Amino acid sequence: MSVTGEIVAEGTRAPVVRYEVRGRVGVITLDRPAARNAVSAAVAAGVEDAIDRLEADDSVWVGVLTANTEGQERPVFCAGADLKAIAAGEGGSLSTGRGGFAGIVWRDRVKPIIAAVDGLATAGGCEIVLATDMVVASSRSGFGLAEVKRNLVASGGGLFRLPRAVGRNVAMEAVLTGEPLSAQRAFELGLVNRLCDPGKSLEEALLLAERVCAAAPLAVWESRKVVLASETEGDNALWTRSTEAFDRVLASEDAREGLAAFIEKRPPNWSGR
């Protein structure tokens, strides 16, 4: 099944964010290739709306966030904030109340999102990637926080999420010089889960999403919460979180299905309940 939707920039006919359902995966596509997929007010609203759809649809268990790079001589996943909007004093329009910058950087959500990157993710574009749960990147991708080159500060989470992903010293160099990390380096440091050939990041991300969907969705969502909490909470709180997550999952229909499938030596049929 494929269900599509799009968010259209005011005064134009061109979609700036597209949403499509492929099986149990919701695909969100940034679609401003002529503007290097820079985040405008319409993009921020569109991403928030797409995540709303992802979260509300019980038949969809995982999201993939990608970008249209057609016609770009040097592919750019996202160049960050639309600097024309910032210069015009409209920087606040690039954030939403529930999601922050680009409608995603502090969005509270249940379902994991995989970034499919094929090109440069810089400044706010890198912060979008850092707000996702896993990253698939092509070999021509790059990841950086270039704000210092414009006398700006990366305020969308990059200054603390990048050090967590690649280490303090590497992040410090990237932040203070504004120079991006290559896809290979990002993979070696753990920011990128999987490397692929140019033009193949969406395909590879969908394969990874299918692997996630093969697992029990409730267990996936509860486990994700604990992993995220481990970045800010101590062991005592995490022991409590883990126990509570286990109890919630064990009381579900899928727990009974998982045990029955194991005993009967058959693939489980997850319901998400």
Q: Last residue of a domain, which of 176, 193, 213?
A: 213
Do 183 and 245 reside in the same domain of the chain?
no
Catalytic residue among 48, 147, 204, 222: 147
Nearest to 17 by CA among 30, 33, 4: 30
- Catalytic residue flag (residue 210): no
Q: Is residue 270 part of a domain?
A: no
The pLDDT score that the predictor gives to residue 14 is: 72
CB of 55 closer than 8 Å to CB of 111: yes
Q: Is residue 31 part of a domain?
A: yes
Do 198 and 256 reside in the same domain of the chain?
no
Do 115 and 238 reside in the same domain of the chain?
no
Do 64 and 127 reside in the same domain of the chain?
yes
The pLDDT score that the predictor gives to residue 15 is: 86
For β-strands 15-22 and 2-8, DSSP reports them as: antiparallel
Q: Is residue 271 part of a domain?
A: no
Q: Which domain holds residue 227?
A: 217-263
Q: Is residue 272 part of a domain?
A: no
The pLDDT score that the predictor gives to residue 100 is: 97
The pLDDT score that the predictor gives to residue 13 is: 60
**Which segments in the chain show pLDDT lower than 70?**
1-13
Q: Is residue 83 part of a domain?
A: yes
The pLDDT score that the predictor gives to residue 231 is: 93
Do 84 and 97 reside in the same domain of the chain?
yes
Do 147 and 256 reside in the same domain of the chain?
no
Catalytic residue among 48, 55, 70, 127: 127
| Torsion over CA: 48, 52, 54, 55 (sign) | positive
Tokens of 236: 């005592």
The pLDDT score that the predictor gives to residue 2 is: 44
* Structural domains in the chain (count): 2
The pLDDT score that the predictor gives to residue 1 is: 41
- Catalytic residue flag (residue 203): no
Do 236 and 162 reside in the same domain of the chain?
no
The pLDDT score that the predictor gives to residue 144 is: 97
Do 161 and 245 reside in the same domain of the chain?
no
Do 202 and 225 reside in the same domain of the chain?
no
Q: Last residue of a domain, which of 171, 196, 213?
A: 213
C-alpha gyration radius of the chain: 19
Do 189 and 144 reside in the same domain of the chain?
yes
Do 225 and 123 reside in the same domain of the chain?
no
The pLDDT score that the predictor gives to residue 272 is: 93
Residue-wise pLDDT tens digits, 50-59:
999 999 999 9
Name the residue type at position 268: P
Do 78 and 198 reside in the same domain of the chain?
yes
